[in-house]
Amino acid sequence: MKIKVGVIFGGESAEHEISIISALQAINKINEEKYDIVPIYITKDRQWYTGELLKDIDSYQDLDLLKKFATNVSLVEKNGRFILEKKKGLFKKEVAEIDIAFPIVHGTNVEDGVLQGYLQTIGMPYVGPNTYAGVVGQDKMYMKAIFEKEELPMTKYVWFYDTEYKNNQEEVMKKISKLSYPLIVKPATTGSSIGISFAEDETKLKEAIDDAINYDTKIIVEEVVKNLKEVNISVLGNYEHQKLSVIEEVVGKNKFLTYEDKYIGGGKSKGKFGAKGVPCVKGSKGMLSATRKIPADLSDKLKKEVEDVAIKAFKALGSAGCSRIDFLIDEKKNKVYINEINSIPGSLAFYLWEPLNKDYTDLLEDMINIGVKEYKRRCSKTYTFDTNILQGFANNGLKGSKGKLK
């Protein structure tokens, strides 16, 4: 009997469209001899849909039409079964059953632990990071605090709330003045370079902060690494066991890798699925649009340092599944700085595993197996204990009681 895998994607996120691309890539590569694939699309207004048409990239050109022909559903647990049931109608008709969820989501409200929290609340097995790892993997401020505690190499930075800046701009600018230009301004919880700007002076800095505030309540400002080489590595596993991919060097057209560098290429599409099974957006090569050098041109010393820091970061954040960890290298000083972790990276970083003879289908199966192991581990732990505290309150009577919980 095949395992029923519910691939969840979309959501109320600035990276909504990127999630669709990543999910359809994976759906196109999951081994259909072993798994039944159930696509689950979350719209930007947080409605859940399923249906075979969701496997086709062309379906997303007209979302009103998609909603008309896909089935609006809720994911619920009933008697130990996890089912998608139809939301509309007099009776809650069962549409599909799922054995394990596979969230392929990016950004706030989905990748950041919110979706994982719901799945864990109803007791459903799922692939990838848990709620805690999702939170710290999405919030750069939390992430940096943990990296600092683990003494991992980072650039100098400051952070602040949007209200602090609006109410006392002078104080925040004084705080930032301890850093050296040029600076990078980032919303704390966005991904795909959304809302990130480069600032060479105070005027540009203020413009960058104003833009970042549109996307988040917490803003990070950090020093730019000079003589920059940007490299990434993928980590597969959990807190017990980890495997490393090859290291890539990413080359963008701008001072830092922008959203356009990552996703809006100048190449022409090759039909519904382009190179390596990547869903294509018209006029774009999608996730493969950025220039990549694989493996990266690094000395053995720097390669070893990137690998060691990647493992430490992955374990410190308690991540699971397949993550991508981004690094900044000062080529003149030969110094490595960790930038951030992507707990559910675009394309699930499949291209970093191919040079090791692990194709995308094998990577997806490894991720599903890790998800099953993580679920069994959670089930082996004790989260409740017997207590008679409520019996005591029942005997004494709660109504009108002046007793207090201590």
What pLDDT score was predicted for residue 385? 67
The verdict on residue 277 lying in a domain is: no
> Which residues neighbour 113 within 8 Å (Cβ) at sequence distance 6 or greater?
129, 130, 131, 132, 133, 134, 135, 138
Residue 230 sits in the same domain as residue 373:
yes
Number of domains in the chain: 3
Residue 219 sits in the same domain as residue 230:
no
Give 102-160 pLDDT, tens digit per residue: 999 998 899 999 999 999 999 999 999 999 999 999 999 999 999 999 999 999 999 99
The verdict on residue 392 lying in a domain is: no
Residue 57 sits in the same domain as residue 204:
no
Domain limits at 97?
A: 3-126
Q: Please report which confidence band the pLDDT of residue 390 belongs to, taking 50, 70 and 90 as the band edges.
A: low
The verdict on residue 47 lying in a domain is: yes
Give 148-204 pLDDT, tens digit per residue: 999 999 999 999 999 999 999 999 999 999 999 999 999 998 765 778 999 999 999
Give 356-366 pLDDT, tens digit per residue: 999 999 999 99
Domain CATH number, residue 345? 3.30.470.20
CA distance 229 to 74: 45
Residue 64 confidence (pLDDT) above 80: yes
**Amino acid at residue number 28:** N
Residue 161 sits in the same domain as residue 19:
no
Any idea which of 56-60, 71-75, 89-93, 266-270 has the lowest mean pLDDT? Answer: 266-270
CA distance 302 to 338: 12
